[in-house]
Amino acid sequence: MPLTPNFSSSQTTGEPSIVVLTDSSTGSDVSIVSRRVYLVNSEGDYVVPTGTSTDYVVWPIVSGTGDTIDIDVLTEDAALDITVNWVDVSGVTVETKTTLCGFTLFNETFYYSLTQAQATQSQPPPMIIQDSNYYTNKMILRVQIDSGNNAITLGDDITTAQNCYDLATFMVTNQSDFF
pLDDT at position 64 is 54
pLDDT in tens, 123-165: 665 566 667 788 899 999 999 999 999 999 999 999 999 999 9
6 in Cβ contact with 26 (< 8 Å) = yes
Helix axes 158-173 and 105-120, enclosed angle (nearest 10) = 40
Q: Which amino acid is at 169?
A: T
pLDDT in tens, 78-130: 999 999 999 999 999 999 999 999 999 999 999 999 998 888 776 665 566 66
Question: For the chain, how big is the Rg over CA atoms in Å?
Answer: 20
pLDDT at position 120 is 79
User: What's this model's pTM, rounded to 2 decimal places?
Assistant: 0.91
pLDDT at position 130 is 66
Q: How far is CA 177 from CA 34, 115, 131, 134, 172, in A?
A: 48, 18, 13, 10, 9
